[in-house]
Amino acid sequence: MEKCSCHERLEAYYDMKVFLTIDPIEQIQRIEKRNGSEKAVEFQKKWIPLEELYFEKCRTRSRCDVCFTMCDEM
């Protein structure tokens, strides 16, 4: 899950832009572990869709220099 700090107005100040993704199931498991089941539901229904919309509208992934998919094996 990428944080929304890759704003196009700030790009000139970045040396490198990195986009990280994670399997959705693993993402929810990590949120549950960190914040509990109730908050995980809130993230799944509200925050994750908003974040995905942000990525889409701002073309965040395509503007990054490097993209990684995170997994527990790393």
38 within a domain of the structure (yes/no): yes
pTM above 0.85, yes or no: no
Amino acid at the residue 2: E
Domain carrying residue 53: 32-59
Choose among 54, 69, 68: nearest CA to 7: 54
pLDDT at 72 over 80: no
71 within a domain of the structure (yes/no): no
pLDDT, tens digit, 9 for 90 and up, residues 14-42:
899 999 999 999 999 999 999 999 999 99
Number of domains the chain is built from: 1
Q: Give pLDDT, residue 12.
A: 87
User: Which comes out higher in pLDDT, residue 74 or 42?
Assistant: 42
Report the 10 Å Cβ neighbour count for 60: 19
Report the 10 Å Cβ neighbour count for 15: 5
Q: Are 54 and 4 in contact (CB under 8 A)?
A: yes
